[in-house]
């Protein structure tokens, strides 16, 4: 079965919209998300444009703050400081990656954790890892929502996460091992130093591929009936397309899909859910549901 991330995301956006409408009719202002975008990286431009469009669909206010790629770190930090202190903004994100001369960690830690709707601040990461209420980073939270909406069993399942990034691999492993549903899985995290990776994958009931290597997961690595969640979104050159590229996942979809009980496509799987999780976090920030 193909997991339709776009359809689930559209449904959740409608649910958010209904909550926003009722907030507004009770006299509150709509939730407000701000985004900081540095430079003109094609991927980042697209992601931010999608986030702003999703805000419109959910009835949120959105603000885009743009900086050129030679912006000084201090200027960025001062913009963050302003947003932290702006009562008219409920949450904000700084789109990553940032140019090399800017210390990404310093930027993340400058964000007030109560407005950190990306869930990247160490307070949110730490609270998530011990199971406390927090902003959960968008892609892992989106994957959890997909598992939940499709009622995919995770209890006692062997789950293999490919990739150990701070924004996907580590947090998704944390959430899958947590007590409750979706969770209670036995999680193995594989990375560039993992030995016998193919054998480990073949044992998996659930594979989460988040390493950013196009078509890395091949059919011989997947057992019959496995659930495969593809987080990859690499732009691979494709002259036949107007854009000049094709968004390619970490899974060799055509050959892997026939073996799976569930699989996410790229695009239209995890991607739309990431954006909807950010919307959900913004609504939680606006209603002070967490902090």
Question: Which residues are catalytically annotated?
Answer: 51, 95, 118
Asked if 116 touches ligand GUN (CB under 6 A), the answer is no
The stretch among 91-99, 179-187, 213-221, 265-273 that binds ligand GUN (CB under 6 A) is: 91-99
Cα–Cα nearest to 144, from 116, 113, 171, 124: 171
Asked if 118 touches ligand GUN (CB under 6 A), the answer is yes
Q: Taking CA 137 as the corner, what is the angle to CA 172 and CA 221, rounded to the nearest 5 degrees?
A: 25
* Residue 251 DSSP SS3: strand
Asked if 138 touches ligand GUN (CB under 6 A), the answer is yes
Shortest Cβ contact with ligand GUN: which residue? 96
Residue number, 15 or 104, with CB nearest to ligand GUN: 104
Q: What six digits make up the tokens of 25?
A: 């009719």
Three-class DSSP labels, 190-203: ECCCCCCHHHHHHC
**Which of 33, 93, 117, 266 forms a contact with ligand GUN (CB under 6 A)?**
93
Residue number, 37 or 226, with CB nearest to ligand GUN: 37
The stretch among 90-98, 148-156, 198-206, 241-249 that binds ligand GUN (CB under 6 A) is: 90-98
**Which of 95, 264, 281, 282 forms a contact with ligand GUN (CB under 6 A)?**
95
Asked if 79 touches ligand GUN (CB under 6 A), the answer is no
Asked if 279 touches ligand GUN (CB under 6 A), the answer is no
* Residue 120 DSSP SS3: coil
What residues numbered 247-276 form the site for ligand GUN, per CB under 6 A? 274
CA separation, residue 228 to residues 210, 223, 231 (Å): 11, 10, 10
The stretch among 88-96, 199-207, 224-232, 256-264 that binds ligand GUN (CB under 6 A) is: 88-96
Interface with ligand GUN (CB under 6 A), residue total 9
C-alpha dihedral sign at 152, 227, 124, 31: negative
Q: What six digits make up the tokens of 280?
A: 């959900």
Cα–Cα nearest to 37, from 67, 81, 79: 67
Please give the distance of CA 82 from its chain centroid, rounded to a whole number. 25
Positions in the binding site for ligand GUN (CB under 6 A): 93-96, 118, 138-139, 167, 274
């Amino acid at each position: 079965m193909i997991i339709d991330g776009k359809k689930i995301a559209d449904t959740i956006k409608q649910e958010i919209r209904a909550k926003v409408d009722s907030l507004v009719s009770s006299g509150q202002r709509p939730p407000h998300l701000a985004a900081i975008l540095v430079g003109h990286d094609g991927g980042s431009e697209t992601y931010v444009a999608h986030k702003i469009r999703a805000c419109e669909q959910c009835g949120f206010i959105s603000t885009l703050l743009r900086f050129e790629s030679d912006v000084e770190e201090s200027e960025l930090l001062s913009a963050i400081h302003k947003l932290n202190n702006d009562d008219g903004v409920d949450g904000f994100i700084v789109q990553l990656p940032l140019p090399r001369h800017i210390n990404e960690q310093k930027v993340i830690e400058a964000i007030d954790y109560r407005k950190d709707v990306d869930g990247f601040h160490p307070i949110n990461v730490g609270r998530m890892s011990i199971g406390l209420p927090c902003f959960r980073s968008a892609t892992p939270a989106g994957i959890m929502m997909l598992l939940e909406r499709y009622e995919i069993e995770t209890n006692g399942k062997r789950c293999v996460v490919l990739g150990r990034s701070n924004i996907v691999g580590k947090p998704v492993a944390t959430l899958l091992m947590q007590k409750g549903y979706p969770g209670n899985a036995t999680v193995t995290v594989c990375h560039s130093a993992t030995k016998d990776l193919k054998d480990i994958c073949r044992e998996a009931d659930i594979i989460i591929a988040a390493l950013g290597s196009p078509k890395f997961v091949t059919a011989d690595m997947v057992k019959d009936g496995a659930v495969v969640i593809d987080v990859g979104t690499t732009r691979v050159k494709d002259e036949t397309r107007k854009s000049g590229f094709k968004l390619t996942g970490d899974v060799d979809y055509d050959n892997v899909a026939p073996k799976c009980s569930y699989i996410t496509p790229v695009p239209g799987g995890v991607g739309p859910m990431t954006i909807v999780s950010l919307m959900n976090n913004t609504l939680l920030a606006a209603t002070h549901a967490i902090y």
